[in-house]
Chain A
């Protein structure tokens, strides 16, 4: 146990969350290693989003512990603190700051002082500009850098949001359905992008799109009714009878 904990980047143990008696998460345990990429699948209501909420501090679990990098107790921190620890989150529905330009979106996300007076008197340094240019490159938005985020296409918004996550320089990225509503070409590009990101950081991807999950080619965890039903490679999972019963077969 302790060995597991010290080895892990993210360590969820026995997490339970209930809303008015309904258990959204039921003794969920999950372990993500540094540098790992994990795909999480599960039918609607399996608890995927709630799990993300617990990790990012939006929801407090009724029971269980959530540790980051073996020593940070996530259950006692708020969203901002957790974000500053190095956990980035991408929402299911792309959320970017629509009345800011792409550039400003990235500037706001860039790792920097988050204090009120720090931001009041801050100015953008040359190295920050460089970092932003680099990020724009990574997410294919260089040409759109001065566009208002509101005017981006759906796919571009998804990328911008991923770019913002990268700007935070997190150790762990939580990505909720990144390819929903994307074209096939965009989906492939996104898979590529995530793999590239995974070279330096751990990634947890929640996704419905099986082609995409297959594309990623990583370990898959199946959630069902708030706890882990099975995990392993996609092929392994696909042959698991219970998984077929609750999810694939239906």
Chain B
């Protein structure tokens, strides 16, 4: 999953770079070919308050003039102003040969009239020319739009706009910020506005020392990366007091950011931990409860992931409307597929090998090879796409933490699976029988428990849970024949580390390893971090051969 994501990231970066490089080149070329000749006499834009006039002059104006015109347009107070300016900055303001200015609602239309909002359809056959923008102008337009939005009646628009003004730190918006502050009722928006004002003050030194010191205070309280950047600008200030105050604020923010960084890594760790938990939880049953070394456990996870893929393909063909709940449908499906496979394996192979753990290990390893190759033969060796439903994609910000929805869902999901499984083993008749058989097979058998059946079903349960894990992992990992392999060692580590036969141990083991891994990563690197964790586990098992939550007692060694 990592290489894949890294690739995507680097591709995106490359695209962004190309764009950044290409844009100025493009515009300068445009300037050469379409010279902004003195054909349009420079009129003071402020004189005209006529929106139509201002807009109609845009296509042929120079960049400097465009900037002035945009300012004038903003001041007309016309309700269409916001749409015009934001379309302008997005490059969607276009003009016909006759000088009619239109707005592209999407990249290739439909279009509407910029002034009246009349729907113009796709405007096929008509040549349109973009009203060009450069980066400087785009920045100004952003500021204008944000200033306009500051007075929007909708609080969420104002909140967004306040953030934008902070990012832009445009001194021109200072008056509108003051104005907005005076009537803002939402305290968080007001706070952002004050921070925006502080950033502008510091950037442009528009007020006296006292005001600037107050601004530093405000930014220190904000305490994030943007605040840090704003403060770093004061490094070279001639004013010693100011410089020291800023430096101390920078230190304070850096410390805060470090805490957030650790928190973010802990979150990543918990997220990884829940992935490990999901992968290991089935093993905690087959290995932990039954004592069966199932090296094909990873392949049970893989079967679950492929089931998810198949379910989605079927839904796509049969009932596309159900796609948004495809994952929910996949859960029972994966449980049945993997659980069924598990029962089959138990009946045909493992039951002949009870009490011979090393042989079980070898036979199930062989089985894992067969399953991998079977899936490769049927589905091909390439990754299969599994679509994430809308409610699982996206991310949100919690303080300085970036939290992706899919990860949160996996954490929640793993907890649910664990809880259900524990309740199942504890409160159902089947659970009691399972525990009876694993504790004393002969006694259970003589009390009428059908041990063969219980064995098969318990193994099926463990495998089925692995299948469910596969559904979740299909969301964050590549669905390929090798999916299972990457989890098998980790899963064993978790179960062994946590203590065999104890689901709580599995939980703590998974979370500890997950968090340890992620906390090590920043300064050890991913690979070394993993090695360190592996070595740690090896050493740990030396000290406590039976894991974190070992069952103690006189029967343990028997």
Do A and B originate from a single complex?
yes
Give CA–CA (A110, B207) in the complex, Å. 97
Query: What's the least CB distance linking B518 to chain A, in Å?
Result: 33
Tally chain A residues at the interface, Cβ within 8 Å.
9
7 CB-based A-B contacts, threshold 8 Å = A19-B553, A19-B554, A20-B552, A24-B554, A49-B554, A53-B554, A59-B554
Which B residues touch A20, using CB under 8 A?
552-553
A interface residues, Cβ below 8 angstroms from B: 19-20, 22, 24, 49-50, 53, 58-59
Give the residue name and chain of the A residue nearest to B551 (CB): A20
On chain B, the residues within 8 Å of A50 by CB distance are 554
- Contact partners of B552 in chain A: CB under 8 A: 19-20
List of A residues within 8 angstroms of B557 by Cβ = 58
Interface string of B128-171 (1 = CB under 8 A from A): 00000000000000000000000000000000000000000000
Q: How large is the interface on B (under 10, 10 to 19, 20 to 34, 35 or more residues)?
A: under 10
Contact with A along B340-370 (1 / 0, CB 8 A): 0000000000000000000000000000000
Q: How far apart sit A24 and B556, CA to CA, in the bound complex (Å)?
A: 14
Q: Chain B contacts of A19 at CB under 8 A?
A: 552-554
Residue of A19, A50, A53, A58 ringed by the most chain B CB atoms within 10 A:
A19
- Within residues 518 to 558 of chain B, which ones have a CB less than 8 A from any CB in chain A? 552-554, 557
Instruction: Please give the distance in Å from B120's CB to the nearest CB on chain A.
Output: 80
Bound CA span A49–B553, Å: 12
Which residues of B are in contact with A by a Cβ distance under 8 Å?
Answer: 552-554, 557
Q: Give the docked Cα–Cα distance between A19 and B557 (Å).
A: 13
Return chain B residues, CB-CB under 8 Å to A24.
554
Looking at B552, B553, B554, B557, the one whose CB has the most chain A CB atoms below 10 A away is B554
The complex places the Cα of A53 from the Cα of B557 at a distance, in Å, of 11
Min CB gap A98→B, angstroms: 15
> Bound state CA distance, A70 and B554, in angstroms?
28
- B residues less than 8 Å from A49 (CB atoms): 554
How far is it, in angstroms, between the C-alpha of A58 and the C-alpha of B552 when the chains are bound?
14
Give the distance to chain B from A44, nearest Cβ to Cβ, in Å. Answer: 12
Q: Which B-chain residue is minimally distant from A22 (CB atoms)?
A: B553
Residues of B within 8 A of A53 (CB): 554
Q: A20-B553, A50-B554 are in contact. List 10 more A-B contacts (CB 8 A).
A: A19-B552, A19-B553, A19-B554, A20-B552, A22-B553, A24-B554, A49-B554, A53-B554, A58-B557, A59-B554
CB-CB under 8 A from B553, the residues of chain A are 19-20, 22
CB distance from B504 to the nearest CB of A (A): 14
Docked complex Cα distance between A224 and B293 (Å): 40
**Chain B positions within 8 Å of A59 at CB level:** 554
A118 to chain B, nearest CB (A): 27
Q: Across chains A and B, which 5 residue pairs bring their CB atoms closest together, nearest first?
A: A19-B553, A19-B552, A20-B552, A50-B554, A19-B554
Chain B residues positioned under 8 Å from A58 (CB to CB):
557
Would you give the shortest CB distance from B171 to chain A, in whole angstroms? 70
What separation, in Å, do the CA atoms of A100 and B485 have in the docked complex? 40
In the assembled complex, how far is the CB of residue B409 from the closest CB belonging to chain A, in whole angstroms? 37
Nearest chain A CB to B99 CB, angstrom units:
88
| Complex: chain B residue closest to A20, CB-CB | B552
Bound: A155/B447 CA distance, A: 30
- Chain B residue with Cβ nearest A93: B558
CB distance from B500 to the nearest CB of A (A): 16
Q: How far is the CB of B48 from chain A (nearest CB, A)?
A: 88
Complex formed: what's the CA distance from A19 to B553 in Å?
5
Q: How far is the CA of A49 from the CA of B555 in the complex (A)?
A: 11
What residue of chain A has the Cβ atom nearest to residue B557's Cβ? A58
How far is it, in angstroms, between the C-alpha of A100 and the C-alpha of B557 when the chains are bound? Answer: 24
Give the distance in Å from the alpha carbon of A53 to the alpha carbon of B555 in the complex: 12
Q: Shortest beta-carbon distance, B557 to chain A, in Å?
A: 8
B356 to chain A, nearest CB (A): 15
What is the distance, in angstroms, from A16's C-beta to the closest C-beta of chain B? 14
Shortest Cβ distance from A59 into B: residue: B554
Nearest-CB residue, chain B, relative to A17: B554
Chain A residues near B554 (CB-CB < 8 A): 19, 24, 49-50, 53, 59
Cα-based distance from A130 to B553 in the complex (angstroms): 43
Q: How far is the CB of A171 from chain B (nearest CB, A)?
A: 26
Closest to A53 in B: B554
* Nearest Cβ on chain B to A20's Cβ, whole angstroms: 5
B558 to chain A, nearest CB (A): 10
Q: How far is the CA of A117 from the CA of B554 in the complex (A)?
A: 34
Query: How many whole Å from A141's CB to the nearest CB in chain B?
Result: 27
